Amino acid sequence: MSKPYYLSTAISYPNGAPHIGHAYEAIAADVMARFRRSQGRDVYFQTGTDVHGLKMAQAARDQGMEPAELGDKMSNMFNAMCDDLGITYDRFIRTTDSDHHRAAQAIWRQMAEKGDLYLGRYEGWYSVRDEAFYDEKELKEGENGEKLSPEGTPVEWQVEETWFFKLSAYQQPLLDHIAANPDFIAPKSRKNEVVSFIEGGLKDLSVSRTSFDWGVPVPDSPGHVMYVWLDALTNYITGVGYPDGGENWEKYWPADCHLIGKDIVRFHAVYWPAFLMSAGIELPKQVYAHGFLLGEGGVKMSKSLGNVVDPMEIAGRHGVDALRYFLLREVTFGQDGSVTEDALVTRVNAELANSFGNLAQRTLSMIHKNLDGVLPAAGDADADKALLETVRAACEDKLPAEFDRWAFEKGTEAWLQAVYACNAYVDEMAPWALKKTDPDRMAEVLGTLAATLTPLANAILPVAPKGAQSILDQLSAGEGGSPIDKPVPAFPRLEMPTEDA
Ligand code: ME8
């Protein structure tokens, strides 16, 4: 029986259209999901939208819409983005789904039964944009002396009757858990951040609101809706059958990894595990925080700054494979990275079009033209065997070892080095010259090259599924001795749009 693997992304706020940061997270998770499936794992992969909360209610009001209407409209856009980018999710969850409503109330009841919830009065700072409460000592000062959250967003003073969660009681249990499970929070820099935050002291957390009603009602407490993060985090267990249990629950919980961005580590690595401990539910095995995509010149992209790149526009212009490959290859996973359209075109042309695409195109064309399309057997000269071993090691050992630890940029680098080795072999063997001097050797050389294409295409399949699948299909048409068709380019060359286009 294959080992289950449960991976989730954060669920996005559908308060506007998805931007490239959302696409990045979905793509990274999808590459991991496809990679795990290729290893024979039984994968459950969940993504979705976080529809409740004040941020959504305010965005809807600004646009003259009902929150539910805005949530539906924008959730549809997020879902469509996932479909268009080839994201192979098993469930696209929305926190407005009825089973989620039940799950959120169920975890609340379990936390209440544990004695961890009490009614009180919250007075303190709240950031609507972060949907987060902050301690006075965490705030920084803005340009005009105004108070800002550590994320640089505006905060306001809140005074409200609220249910509190006894987060303070979980300070030591959380530190113990992190110490006993060294991979619980990754990368290490994020873990250190979390540990020092916890060691700084945890205060009880306000987990209900009374000033608006766009959320899951607190059970048996009229006028209170659940804090949006308690509601949102619960999506991870809703999706696998909480509170009923059942086959998916048994199989997939605890999750193998929650993939998130670095700005929401506190919610996932402090609040969520504390909620789960309180409810008596096992903790996820890992929270992995990726970095932020920055715009030209390293500027933070945000809706309010108006410099967000539309992922669908880029994918429409250059193709889904190009966007997926570029984002994972360009940015060191776990760190921030700048992305520009220029850099995408340059890299994809150099690596996918001119290197791998060209290798496949040249090889299949020569076979088509010179050997009536019949795939020849690989040669067994030293150079042939060495090349096949280089490709095998890159595709079977190096790339998987790097992907295993989320180092997509290094895994694809190892793969690319093998592609370069194949191209160097073509140039050295010059099969076009052998055609006249030694046609048998030409067939061996082309057979050797054809034998590199299947592992190379399979290895890059999770990252660039369309082009890689096209190469695999073109090759498989030649299985059993039938001739391959005239090859079609799997990775076409890209062009920058002209200024006035
Ligand atoms: O935080 N680069 O939703 P969200 C990379 N609803 N990643 C980015 C990014 C960027 N420029 N901007 C955002 C929320 N992200 C909550 C999550 S989970 C129970 C609730 C990432 O729409 C961000 O880090 O603001 C997060 O992981 C995801 O996109 C959704 O962000």
Interval 431-474: pLDDT, tens:
999 999 999 999 999 999 999 999 999 999 999 999 999 999 99
Ligand 1 site, residue 56, Cβ cutoff 6 A: no
DSSP for residue 220:
T
Answer whether 378's CB lies under 8 Å from 451's CB.
yes
Mark whether 243 and 354 lie in a shared domain.
no
- Does some domain include residue 501? no
Ligand 1 site, residue 22, Cβ cutoff 6 A: yes
Mark whether 373 and 256 lie in a shared domain.
no
Query: Residues of 89-109 as b/e, b for ≥16 C-beta within 10 angstroms?
Result: bbbbbbbbbeebbebbbbbbe
- Does some domain include residue 311? no
Backbone angles phi, psi at 48, to 5 degrees: 160, -160
Is the bond preceding 376 in cis, omega lying within 30 degrees of 0? no
299: which 2 tokens?
Answer: 């500027």
Q: Give me the pLDDT at residue 309, please.
A: 80
Q: How confident is the model at residue 498 (pLDDT cuts 50, 70, 90)?
A: confident
* Domain end among 230, 256, 290: 290
Flag whether pLDDT at 290 surpasses 70: yes
Ligand 1 site, residue 434, Cβ cutoff 6 A: no
Q: What is the CATH number of the domain that holds 361?
A: 1.10.730.10
Is the bond preceding 465 in cis, omega lying within 30 degrees of 0? no
Answer whether 351's CB lies under 8 Å from 493's CB.
no
More confident residue, 81 or 295: 81
Identify the domain containing residue 428 by its residue range: 341-481
Flag whether pLDDT at 500 surpasses 80: no
Q: How far is the CA of 10 from the centre of ligand 1 (A)?
A: 6
Q: How confident is the model at residue 305 (pLDDT cuts 50, 70, 90)?
A: low
Flag the least confident range among 274-283, 307-316, 459-468: 307-316
Mark whether 282 and 346 lie in a shared domain.
no
Model pTM greater than 0.90? yes
Distance CA 11, CA 47 (A): 6
Mark whether 18 and 117 lie in a shared domain.
yes
Backbone angles phi, psi at 221, to 5 degrees: -145, 80
Distance CA 494, CA 336 (A): 25
Q: Give me the pLDDT at residue 499, please.
A: 65
Q: Residues 342, 343, 346, CA angle at the centre, nearest 5°?
A: 85
3-class DSSP assignment, residue 244: coil
- Side chain identity, residue 204: D
- Does some domain include residue 429? yes
Q: What is the pLDDT averaged over residues 275-288?
A: 98
- Does some domain include residue 351? yes
Distance CA 353, CA 452 (A): 17
3-class DSSP assignment, residue 247: helix
Mark whether 361 and 454 lie in a shared domain.
yes
Q: How confident is the model at residue 501 (pLDDT cuts 50, 70, 90)?
A: very low
Mark whether 65 and 203 lie in a shared domain.
yes
- Does some domain include residue 63? yes
- Does some domain include residue 241? yes
Ligand 1 site, residue 261, Cβ cutoff 6 A: yes
Mark whether 135 and 247 lie in a shared domain.
yes
% of the chain surpassing 90 pLDDT: 94
Best residue among 13, 20, 25, 231 to mutate for probing ligand 1, ranked by most atoms within 8 Å of CB: 25
The CA radius of gyration of the chain, in Å to the nearest whole number, is: 26
Flag the least confident range among 9-18, 233-242, 294-303: 294-303
- Does some domain include residue 492? no
Strand partners, 12: 49
Ligand 1 site, residue 50, Cβ cutoff 6 A: yes
Displacement of CA 371 from its chain's centroid (Å)? 43
Q: How confident is the model at residue 2 (pLDDT cuts 50, 70, 90)?
A: confident
Ligand 1 site, residue 249, Cβ cutoff 6 A: no
Mark whether 115 and 197 lie in a shared domain.
yes
Mark whether 271 and 382 lie in a shared domain.
no
Residue 424 CB coordination number (10 Å): 11
252: which 2 tokens?
Answer: 């997939």
Interval 354-364: pLDDT, tens:
999 999 999 99
Best residue among 9, 20, 47, 50 to mutate for probing ligand 1, ranked by most atoms within 8 Å of CB: 50
Strand partners, 133: 126
Ligand 1 site, residue 289, Cβ cutoff 6 A: no
Strand partners, 4: 42
Strand partners, 7: 45, 257
- Does some domain include residue 451? yes
Q: How far is the CA of 294 from the centre of ligand 1 (A)?
A: 13
Mark whether 150 and 66 lie in a shared domain.
yes
300: which 2 tokens?
Answer: 């933070």
Q: Give me the pLDDT at residue 1, please.
A: 62
Distance CA 480, CA 308 (A): 50
Q: How far is the CA of 208 from the centre of ligand 1 (A)?
A: 22
Q: Give me the pLDDT at residue 23, please.
A: 98
Q: How many helices (H) and strands (E) does the chain have?
A: 21, 16
Answer whether 272's CB lies under 8 Å from 233's CB.
yes
Q: What is the pLDDT averaged over residues 119-123?
A: 96
Answer whether 296's CB lies under 8 Å from 289's CB.
no
Q: Give me the pLDDT at residue 295, please.
A: 78
Mark whether 48 and 160 lie in a shared domain.
yes
Instruction: Please count the structural domains in the chain.
Output: 2
Q: Give me the pLDDT at residue 497, please.
A: 82
Nearest to 128 by CA among 66, 194, 209, 197: 209
Mark whether 95 and 196 lie in a shared domain.
yes
Ligand 1 site, residue 227, Cβ cutoff 6 A: no
Ligand 1 site, residue 265, Cβ cutoff 6 A: no
Q: What is the mean pLDDT of the chain?
A: 96
Sequence-ordered alpha helix ranges (H) in 39-170: 54-62, 67-84, 98-113
Distance CA 139, CA 58 (A): 23
Distance CA 23, CA 51 (A): 18
Answer whether 448's CB lies under 8 Å from 389's CB.
no
Query: Given its phi and psi angles, is residue 110 left (phi above 0), alpha (psi -120 to 50 degrees) or beta?
Result: alpha
Q: What is the CATH number of the domain that holds 188?
A: 3.40.50.620
β-pair type (287-290, 257-261): parallel
Distance CA 261, CA 29 (A): 12
Sequence-ordered alpha helix ranges (H) in 239-286: 247-252, 265-266, 272-279
Ligand 1 site, residue 104, Cβ cutoff 6 A: no
Q: Give me the pLDDT at residue 453, please.
A: 98
Displacement of CA 366 from its chain's centroid (Å)? 39
